[in-house]
Structure 1
Amino acid sequence: MAEVAGRMAEAPATGEAPPTVRRRGGAGLWTFRRALPRRTETALALAGSLAVLLIWEGAARTGLTNPVFFPAPSTVLAALWRMLTQQNLLWHAGISTMRVWTAFAVAAVMAVPIGILMSSYRAFGAAVEPIIDFIRYLPVPALVPLSIIWFGVGESTKIYLLWLGTFFQLVLLVSDDMRRVPQEYFEIASTLGAKPAQALKDVAFRAMLPNLVDNLRITLGWCWTYLIIAEIVAADSGIGFVIWTARRYMKTPEVMAGVVVIGLIGLLTDQLLRALHRRAFRYL
Structure 2
Amino acid sequence: MAEGAVAVGSRPARRRPSRFGFRKPLPRGLELSIALGASLGLLLLWEAVARFGYVNTLFFPAPSDVAAAMVHMFRDQDLAWHAAVSTARVWSAFLIAAVMAIPMGILMSSYRVIGAASEPVIDFIRYLPVPALVPLAIIWFGVGEETKIFLLWLGTFFQLVLLVADDMRRVPQEYVEITQTLGASHYQILRDVAFRAMLPSLVDNLRVTLGWCWTYLIIAEIVAASSGIGFVIWAARRYMKTPEVMAGVVLIGIIGLASDQILRAVHRRMFRYL
Work out whether 1:184 is the aligned partner of 2:174: yes
1:178-212, Cα deviation, whole Å (9 max, x unpaired): 00000100111111110011000000000000000
2:38 to 37, 40, 48: 48
Which residue identity does 1:51 align to in structure 2? G
- Aligned partner of 2:89 in structure 1 is 99
Which residue number corresponds to residue 117 of structure 2?
Answer: 127
Query: Highest relative contact order (Cα 8 Å, sep 6+), 1 or 2?
Result: 1
Q: Does 1:223 align with 2:213?
A: yes
Partner of 1:207: 197
Residue of 48, 60, 71 corresponding to 2:61: 71
* Number of aligned residue pairs: 260
**Percent identity over paired residues:** 73
For residue 237 of structure 1, what is the aligned residue in structure 2?
227
Match of 1:173 in 2: 163
Whether 1:266 and 2:231 are equivalent positions in the alignment is no
- What is the distance in 2 between the residues matched to 1:78 and 1:196? 59
What SS is found at the alignment partner of 2:153? helix
Is 1:32 the equivalent of 2:18? no
Residue 51 of structure 2: aligned partner = 61
Provide the residue aligned with 1:142 in structure 2: 132
- Offset at residue 26 of structure 1 (A): 4.7
CA distance in 2, matches of 1:171, 1:109: 10
1:280 corresponds to which residue?
270
2:9 corresponds to which residue? none
Amino acid of the structure 2 residue aligned with 1:204: A
Amino acid at match of 1:36: L
Distance 1:146 1:97 in 2: 24
Quote the Cα distance in structure 2 between the aligned partners of 1:264 and 1:29.
Answer: 30
Distance 1:277 1:33 in 2: 20
* SS of 2:24 mapped into structure 1: coil
Corresponding residue for residue 196 of structure 1 = 186
Q: Which has the larger radius of gyration?
A: 2
Q: 1:28, CA displacement in angstroms?
A: 3.7
Match of 1:109 among 99, 122, 128: 99
What is the alpha-carbon distance in structure 2 between the residues aligned to residue 277 and residue 47 of structure 1? 25
Task: Give the direction of change, closer, same or farther, for the CA distance of 1:123–1:49 in structure 2 (3 Å limit).
Answer: same
What amino acid is aligned across from residue 264 of structure 1 in structure 2?
I
1:152-172 residue CA offsets vs partner (Å, 9 max, x unmatched): 000000000000000000000
Partner SS state of residue 256, structure 2: helix
Quote how far apart the aligned CAs of 1:33 are.
1.2
Deviations 1:5-61 (A, max 9, x none): xxxxxxxxxxxxxxxxxxxx9534431111101111100000000000000001111
Structure 1 unmatched ranges of 5 or more: 1-24
Q: After TM superposition, where is structure 1 displaced by more than 3 Å over at least 4 residues in a row? A: 25-29
Deviation per residue, 1:38-94 (Å, 9 max, x gap) = 111100000000000000001111000100000100000000000011100000000
Q: Which runs of 5+ in 2 are unaligned?
A: 1-14
Residue 227 of structure 1: CA displacement?
Answer: 0.1
After TM superposition, the structure 1 stretch with the greater mean CA deviation from structure 2, 28-37 or 91-100, is: 28-37
Question: Could you tell me which residue of structure 1 aligns to residue 243 of structure 2?
Answer: 253
Distance 1:220 1:80 in 2: 24
User: 1:3 is matched with which residue?
Assistant: none
TM-score (norm: length of structure 1): 0.90
RMSD: 1.0
The AA in structure 1 aligned to 2:207 is R
